[in-house]
Chains A and B, each alone.
Chain A
Amino acid sequence: MATAEKDLVLLAKQGNKSAMNTLLADNYTILKGYILKLTGDPETAADVVQEAMLRSVLNIGKFEPRAKFSTWLITIATNVYRDMLRKNKVHVQLDENMATHASDVEDEVLSKISQEEVKKTLQQLPYEKRAVFVLKHFHGYKYEEIAVILDIPIGTVRSRLHNAVKSIISQLEKRGIYYEGA
């Protein structure tokens, strides 16, 4: 963990609200990106992010600065989402307000359709495989780190990733949004 982050964690543990605010602000993007991809729904993602950040503030005293703060936040958020799935509190809906950089209306519509298809592909994966895939593909965590975050053996991480990737490729092919010639 970087020294600056270590210092911030130390200050936050002592009750420094400004340090806590900086920690949350610095890690908000990575947390929200992860949860958005995991849930596929901005409303659910917002709830999970809010709850995860609240729990992190409440439990900052228990945080051991061996891992990165973002890894700890992601672990909390994963647990929050898993709890929500168990309690069936998840909104079954795909979002309408994701930003695109399409240059004209036609491109924007096509991009929107592709985006929805890709999101559906990701959402069709079971939660366990989706979590592994999102952590690996979008956030570049090592197998060992994912095993710690999700509290599963490394072998399970590896096999879930392999299955997830094969399933996504097959789904993308079925949906006709697979980009050839990459």
Chain B
Amino acid sequence: MRFRWLVALLALPVTLPAQLAVVGETVYTMAGPAIRDGVVLIRDGKIERVGPSSELRVPAGYRKLTAKVVTPGLIDAYTVVGLSGYLNQAHDQEQVERSKPIQPELRAVDAYDPREPLIEYLRGYGITTLHTGHGPGILVSGQTMIVKTAGPTVEQALVKPDVMVASTLGGGAREREAGKSPGTRAKAIAMLRAELVKAQEAIRRREKKPEEATRDLATEVWIQVLRGEKPLLVTVDRAHDILSAIRLGKEFGLRLVLSNVAEAYLVLEEIRASGYPVIIHPAMQRAGGETENISFETAAKLKAAGIPFAMQSGYESYVPKTRVVLFEAAVAASYGLGFESALAALTIDAARLLGISDRLGSLEPGKDADLALFDGDPFEYTSHTTGVIINGVLVSDRPQ
């Protein structure tokens, strides 16, 4: 299975990648209303044309694939898969480095294992893009990146390196060992403010005496964050911690992305007013500790409040080792979010939030040919993903 995409490539020696015509009883383009009896033409890894079969003839030489439902490839808007492996042993857990609480210089590209079996597993369900990298569980864990779920090296899988700086606030950021910081919520914020002030000072120094500037990896990243070149991704659950995150973001004029936000429903107005988007927790994340007040309905409430959001598989420390955003969105859809909004959260809304909507998230000419094929409502427990296409190549065709 791991090399299925390679086999697919080898089987089509003339045109790499193949010309494909995907015919769906319903095609959700996410760029307009769903098309009944629609066709997506794929050429050289990109989407060539999209339309109803009555208006769009399949040219000769195109391999035809059919499905009941066709959607854009699904996007997991925050995960640790590829850094966190399924065996859950020390050697395959790279998402958090515990030597220091703040290490923004750690890059996801330097830790990603593209042959991790969970990547292929997720791909089998139609997930074609991961925003993955350093995880929650420490104040600042490192950076994230965006990859496709195909490609034998990180370079080949990569969509965008160094996307966000991952951080955690609230109880989840606490160091467990006595005497280690941060040990409290207030200390965590104080430490982050100190880092950002230090970076502001570095900018001033550099402007005054550029000839004396020396490189410092962490400061360089903080400067990018201060300039809004990189969002600060804050995993935070308690209502008061969500407000602390917003307070910090506004003080320094940061681009913040709020992550998990189990108690978002208590501070919807504040989140909406902040303008910060949300990557919401998996609908089925366990209730306990910081997330004891988690709800299946939070996605629906964010939608109703007009807050832009996408969905994440998040981080799991035990069984299952990763969640599947398709399954999580399904539960959110059932608990008030509805089918179309849940599908949007996995596709176009995620692409916009991650800044990749020029390439991904909808079925439109010129975009990457990443598609998921289903034999029924993608969210129904008993439906199957019947095909997955990445960059115009059929990478999975075993019903899953």
B is a partner of A: no
On A, residues with C-beta under 8 Å from B are: none
On B, residues with C-beta under 8 Å from A are: none
